[in-house]
Amino acid sequence: MKYILVTGGVISGIGKGVIASSIGAIMKTVGFRVTSIKIDPYINIDAGTFSPYEHGEVFVLDDGGEVDLDLGNYERFLDVTLHRDNNITTGKVYQQVINHEREGRYLGKTVQVVPHITDAIMDWVECVARKPVTVDGLEPEICIIELGGTIGDIEGMPFVEAFRQFQFRVGRGNFCCVHVSLVPQPSSTGEQKTKPTQASVRELRGLGLYADIIVCRSEKPIGPEVKRKLSNFCHVAPHQVICLHDVDTLYRVPVMLAEERVLHALQECLHLRLPTGMKPRRCMARWRDLAERAAHLRRTVTIALVGKYTSLQDSYASVIKALQHAALAAGRRLDLQCVESEHLQDACKTDDPVRYHEAWRHLCRADGLLVPGGFGHRGVEGKLAAIHWARVNNKPFLGVCLGMQVAVIEYARNVVGLKDATSTEFVQDTSEPLIIDMPEHNTGQMGGTMRLGRRATEFKDGKPSLLQQLYGTARVDERHRHRYEVNPVYVERLEKAGLHFVGQAEDKEATRMEIVELPDHPYFIGVQFHPEYLTRPTRPSPPYLGLVLAACGKLTSYLAKGRRLTSRYRRESTGDTSSDEELAELSQAVSGCMTPVTETARDTPASGAASEGSSGGSEEAAAAAAAAAQSPLVGAGDSAAAAGEQKTAAKAAKPAPAASA
């Protein structure tokens, strides 16, 4: 087992999570089995009780673990399924040690940070690193560990000391430290400053850890002089200083790291041997293709996200990623308009008319509406107003978790005539409890008691369902995080009024309403689960893909063609010349997105080959297809796509016919 520790210096929030994910993606692309661990030094047991304004969204795993949002990055980049133990917190470690002390495991010894806490950390890392995270059940070969915060934080000291010891436990040849630091460029001088990074690396060395690789984050590219200076004063070779400036899309990060030869530096440090015939540059064609497609989208789709935590976009990190993946699949650039739900309420019209009218202007100009999850009554009336506007104006709408519950309340009030319909979360003693709590998930203890994790939803027989057509299956497995549900007493009355509950979950406690749809509407869907947690760059979540396609006016044709996007539409949107066969592969990936797989992606497109400096001829495309076929991450569908790309490149080599009027 090889371990790669990613630490941060100077400031937090400079992209350690994305860099750790990108390093893992590179290692997986060249054939290694990779897992990830995120360490958060706070004393909370998990992220479940955090306000979104504290650490952004709470990401939910298959096993119901409520974890840091960086684990969402790991799952999306690596296409793996992590466990709750992949997120280590100070609270978890201390709880475990205290429980062991109460059980008498330390035989009367004084329990101390060293060795008991540090030993517990090392044992935890070694145990979790060997847990399979892919469907094949094989043990990982490389573990990427991200240490949250910055070097020098007092709460992170036990973890730093643990890894100082850990490097000798596993052997220096099996341990590598990647230090991510900031190289600022003050506007007053325009000169890139290396002192903060030097001080950060010096402090790291003083704590017993040595940076094997330094990743320098900057606003603009770093010149060779700065790189040599960092190499000189930070005790690393020049090729171990990796420069990573701001980019237009996150998909470029793995490509840039590969171009900076981070794989070569890791090979030296960890004594890695690549599989025979593996060509790293060829293997990165998938990420290069994603980056090029994302950067060259010409047409846009505007989605209004009406929520209550919009001042911090990390509060909706997975939701935004799901929209971006869906827009990329549809060949559109996402124009996301975040609208604070309180600004849509009548009270705001009196208190702050400028914000009120601006919020409604953003909403009315949008092509579609998304109302995500949340907790509490604040801003609910604004969400009700937005959903009412989408329903009566035939605007595509997707409600997730609380968004679905509010959509049901809106329909009950304005169509069924239940004027007092609301949720017991908002009004405890309401006369019309349309949304009620689940007693088994409301025990009085806040942390870890909600209905969490991956659960099955069955589509009801005989009920025509737009979402079922998008999934292409009679059952879906999605992740949940909620404490309230639709009151089954009202379901029959709502369905008679035209609102269809097309999906249900059969829990051992009760039958849950999971999916609601409004017939005779372009796209009006609410889901109790959180489909954004399982989105992937090449396998967008079906509910989000449906919203984006409906907002583009392409949903009907997409379903009529058997969930296929035509090449003509893609050319109009992106200038892409992908064949129908390649687009069919994308559709197959979307329809099978609920089945965990190691990788299902188009590798080595013609555009990617061209970006490598090739002449664009059919010989280069054939070589790319052969390399894709050799990759251990490429399935049969990918090989077919590569063959299709070879044909596409051959056609492109012929003289183009004159354009017709």
SS3 category, 59: strand
> Is pLDDT of 658 > 80?
no
Residue 616 DSSP label: -
Mean pLDDT of 12-17: 88
- Residue 166 is inside which H or E element, if any? helix 157-170
- Residues 482-493: pLDDT tens digits? 999 999 999 999
pLDDT at 657: 37
pLDDT band at 588 (very low <50, low <70, confident <90, very high): low
SS3 category, 111: coil
SS3 category, 203: helix
51-55, 102-106, 208-212, 536-540: the lowest-pLDDT one? 51-55
Q: What are phi and psi of 126, to 5 degrees?
A: -65, -40
Q: What are phi and psi of 37, to 5 degrees?
A: -130, 135
- Residues 431-453: pLDDT tens digits? 999 999 987 766 667 777 899 99
Question: Which amino acid does the sequence have at 236?
Answer: V
User: 454 has which bridge partners?
Assistant: 479
- Residues 474-531: pLDDT tens digits? 999 999 999 999 999 999 999 999 999 999 988 777 789 999 999 989 999 999 999 9
- Cα separation, 533 vs 73, whole angstroms: 10
Q: Which of 75, 532, 620, 645 is catalytic?
A: 532
pLDDT at 600: 36
Residue 588's alpha-carbon distances to 525, 556, 625, 638, in angstroms, are: 22, 17, 20, 11
Question: Quick one: CA torsion of 151, 156, 160, 163, rounded to 10 degrees?
Answer: -130
384-393, 418-427, 463-472, 576-585: the lowest-pLDDT one? 576-585
Closest CA to 271 of 386, 170, 157, 378: 170
pLDDT at 632: 35
Closest CA to 372 of 393, 403, 348, 345: 403
pLDDT at 387: 97
- Cα separation, 173 vs 613, whole angstroms: 35
Buried b / exposed e over 267-305, threshold 16 CB at 10 Å, is eebbebeeeeebebebbbbbbbbbbbbbeebeeebbbbb
pLDDT at 438: 87
Mean pLDDT of 548-552: 95
pLDDT band at 626 (very low <50, low <70, confident <90, very high): very low
Mean pLDDT of the chain: 85
- Cα separation, 473 vs 590, whole angstroms: 11
**Taking CA 441 as the corner, what is the angle to CA 437 and CA 446, rounded to the nearest 5 degrees?**
105
pLDDT at 509: 73
176 a catalytic residue: no
**DSSP secondary structure of 297-363:** --SEEEEEEEES-TTSGGGGHHHHHHHHHHHHHHT-EEEEEEEEGGGGSHHHHHH-HHHHHHHHHHH
pLDDT band at 277 (very low <50, low <70, confident <90, very high): low
Mean pLDDT of 406-420: 94
Q: Which of 143, 348, 401, 593 is catalytic?
A: 401
| Percentage of residues of the chain with pLDDT beyond 90 | 69
440: which residues sit within 8 A by CB, 6+ positions away? 509
For residue 115, say if its preceding peptide bond is cis, omega within 30 degrees of 0: yes
- Cα separation, 194 vs 217, whole angstroms: 11
- Domains of the chain in start order, with CATH, are 2-292 (3.40.50.300), 297-565 (3.40.50.880)
- Cα separation, 641 vs 281, whole angstroms: 19
Q: In what order do the strands lie in the sheet with 484-486?
A: 421-423, 432-437, 484-486
- Cα separation, 426 vs 50, whole angstroms: 20
- Residues 346-382: pLDDT tens digits? 999 999 999 999 999 999 999 999 999 998 889 999 9
216 a catalytic residue: no
Q: Which of 216, 530, 593, 620 is catalytic?
A: 530
Question: Does residue 135 or residue 583 have the better pLDDT?
Answer: 135
Residue 91's alpha-carbon distances to 104, 117, 121, 164, 489, in angstroms, are: 20, 11, 12, 21, 41
pLDDT at 443: 64
- Cα separation, 152 vs 322, whole angstroms: 35
Question: Does residue 4 or residue 591 have the better pLDDT?
Answer: 4
Residue 12's alpha-carbon distances to 247, 268, 543, 642, in angstroms, are: 18, 28, 34, 41
> Is pLDDT of 654 > 50?
no
> Is pLDDT of 259 > 70?
yes
- Residues 383-406: pLDDT tens digits? 999 999 999 999 999 999 999 999
Closest CA to 162 of 205, 209, 129, 206: 209
Question: Which amino acid does the sequence have at 574?
Answer: T
> Is pLDDT of 282 > 90?
no
- Cα separation, 312 vs 335, whole angstroms: 17
- Cα separation, 607 vs 56, whole angstroms: 36
- Residues 83-129: pLDDT tens digits? 999 999 999 999 999 999 999 999 889 999 999 999 999 999 999 99
Contact 10, 151 (CB under 8 A): no
388 a catalytic residue: no
- Cα separation, 225 vs 231, whole angstroms: 10
pLDDT at 637: 38
SS3 category, 308: coil
pLDDT band at 578 (very low <50, low <70, confident <90, very high): very low
- Residues 190-246: pLDDT tens digits? 889 999 999 999 999 999 999 999 999 999 999 899 999 999 999 999 999 999 999
Contact 423, 435 (CB under 8 A): yes
